Structure 1
Amino acid sequence: MAMKPTRKQEKVKLYRWRWTGKGPNGRKIAGEIVATRRNEVESLLANQNIVVKSIRRKSGFGSGMGKIKPRDIMLFARQMATMIRAGVPVLQAFQVVAESLKKPAMSALVQELMNEVAAGASFSEALKRHPQHFDRLFANMVEAGEQSGSLDNMLERVATYKEKIESLKSRVKKALWYPAAVISVGFGVTALLLVKVVPQFESLFQGFGAELPAPTRMTLALSEFAQQYWWWGLLGIVAAIFLLRHAMRRSETFRYRMHKLSLRIPVIGDILDKSSVARYSRTLATTFGAGVPLVEALDTAEGAAGNMVYEHAIAQVREDVATGQQLNFAMRMTEQFPPLAVQMVGIGEEAGSLDAMLNRVADYYEEEVDNKVDTLTSLLEPFIIVILGVLVGGLVVSMYLPIFELGSVIG
Structure 2
Amino acid sequence: MPLYSYKVKTEAGKLYSGETKIDSVEELKRLLEDKGYTPIEIVEKNAFTDISTISLFKKKVTTKDLAIFNRQFAIVLQAGVPIASCMDVLKQQTTNQTLRECLNDIYENIQKGISLSNSMRKHEDIFPEIMICMVEAGEVSGQLDIVFERLAKQFENQNAINAKIRSALTYPIIVGVIAVAVIVVLMIFVVPSFVGILKDFNTPLPIYTKILIAVSNFFVNFWWAILIGAIGFGAGLKAFKKSETGKMFFGNLAITLPIVKGVTKNITTSRLARTLGTLMSSGVLLIQSMEVVQKIIGNAVIIKKFDTVIDEIKKGKGLTQPLLNVKYFPPLLMSMIRIGEESGSLDFTLEKAADFYDTEVETSIQQLMALIEPLITIVLAFVVAFVVLAVLVPMLSIYQNADF
Question: Does the CA contact (< 8 Å) of 1:176 and 1:268 recur in 2?
Answer: no
In the alignment of these two chains, the number of paired residues is: 381
1:128-173 deviation per Cα after TM superposition (whole angstroms, max 9, x unaligned)? 1211111221122112222222211111111111111222234345
SS in 1 for 2:200: coil
1:89 is aligned to 82
Where does residue 279 of structure 2 map in the other structure?
287
Question: Which residue matches 2:10?
Answer: none
Contact 2:73/2:148 (CA < 8 Å) preserved in 1? Answer: yes
Give how far 1:100 is off.
1.2
Question: Which of 270, 285, 295 matches 1:278?
Answer: 270
Distance 2:289 2:52 in 1: 40
Q: CA deviation at 1:385?
A: 1.9
Cα distance in structure 1, aligned partners of 2:96 and 2:330: 41
1:245-324 equivalent positions in 2, closer than 5 A: 245-249=238-242, 251-324=243-316
User: What code does the residue aligned with 2:185 have?
Assistant: L
Closer/same/farther in 2, CA of residues 348 and 105 from structure 1, 3 Å limit: same
For 1:368 and 1:68, locate their aligned partners in 2 and report how far apart those are by CA, in whole Å.
27
Alignment of 1:21-60 (within 5 A): none
The answer to whether residue 199 in structure 2 is matched with residue 206 in structure 1 is yes
1:48-92, CA deviations, whole angstroms, 9 ceiling, x for partnerless residues? xxxx9xx9x997778976332232222221111111111111111
- Contact 2:336–2:353 (8 Å) recurs in 1: yes
Alpha-carbon contact 1:280-1:301 (below 8 Å) kept? yes
Q: Report the counterpart of residue 159 of structure 2 in structure 1.
A: 166
Contact kept, 8 Å, 2:277 with 2:346, in 1: the verdict is yes
Q: Deviations over 1:9-46 (max 9, x none)?
A: x564448x8xxxxxx9xxxxxx9965569x99xx9xxx
Deviations 1:93-128 (A, max 9, x none): 111111112233222211111110110111112111
1:334 aligns with 2:329: no
| TM-superposed deviation, 1:273 | 2.3
Report the residue type matching 2:303 in the other structure: E
Residue 313 of structure 1 contacts residue 336 of structure 1 at CA under 8 Å; is this kept in 2?
no
Picking from 98, 117, 128, the partner of 1:105 is 98
Q: Provide the C-alpha distance between the structure 2 equivalents of 1:213 and 1:65, rounded to a whole number of angstroms.
A: 55
- Deviation at 1:298? 0.6
TM-score by length of 1: 0.82
| 1:139 and 2:132 are equivalent in the alignment | yes
- 1:357 aligns with 349
In 2, the alpha carbon distance for the partners of 1:139 and 1:348 equals: 25
1:391 aligns with 2:391: no
Q: 1:68: which partner in 2? A: 61
Q: Distance in 2 between matches of 1:324 and 1:141?
A: 23
Residues 59/394 of structure 1: CA separation in 2 closer, same or farther (3 Å cut): farther
The CA distance in 2 between the partners of 1:313 and 1:66, in whole Å, is: 34
Q: 1:141 to 1:195 in 2, by over 3 A?
A: same
CA distance in 2, matches of 1:176, 1:149: 42
Deviation at 1:254, TM superposition (A): 3.5
Pair 1:121-2:99 in alignment: no
| CA distance in 2: counterparts of 1:375 and 1:259, whole angstroms | 21
Aligned pairs (5 A) from 1:177-192: 178-192=171-185
CA–CA distance in 2 between the matches of 1:210 and 1:267?
Answer: 45
Tell me if structure 2 keeps the 8 A contact 1:267–1:372: no
Partner SS, residue 212 of structure 1: coil
Q: 8 Å contact 2:203–2:394 — kept in the other structure?
A: no
How far did 1:196 drift? 1.5
Structure 1 residue aligned with 2:363: 371
* TM-score after normalising by structure 2: 0.84
Structure 1 distance, partners of 2:351, 2:202, is 74
Separation in structure 1 between the aligned mates of residue 374 and residue 118 of structure 2, nearest angstrom: 53
Match of 2:336 in 1: 344
**2:141 aligned partner:** 148
Q: Pick closer, same or farther for the CA change 1:13–1:271 going to 2, 3 Å.
A: farther
Gaps of 5+ in 2: 8-12
Cα deviation for residue 335 of structure 1 reads 1.4
Cα distance in 1 for partners of 2:399, 2:18 equals 71
Q: Is 183-192 or 120-129 further displaced after alignment?
A: 183-192
Gap change, CA 1:229 and 1:263, over 3 Å in 2: farther
The partner residue of 1:229 within 216, 222, 227 is 222
Q: Structure 1 CA distance, aligned partners of 2:378 and 2:250?
A: 29
Which whole-Å CA distance do the structure 2 matches of 1:173 and 1:308 have between them? Answer: 22
Query: Gaps (5+ residues) in structure 1?
Result: 1-9, 18-23, 25-30
Partner of residue 197, structure 1: 190
1:256: how far off? 1.6
Amino acid at match of 2:135: V
Distance 2:175 2:299 in 1: 26
| Residue pair 1:124, 1:139 contacting (<8 A) in 2 also | yes
2:265–2:329 contact (8 Å) kept in structure 1: no
Report the CA distance between 1:374 and its aligned residue.
1.2
**Are 2:3 and 2:19, in contact at CA under 8 Å, matched by a contact in 1?**
no
Q: Secondary structure at the match of 1:366?
A: helix
Aligned-residue offset at 1:261: 1.9
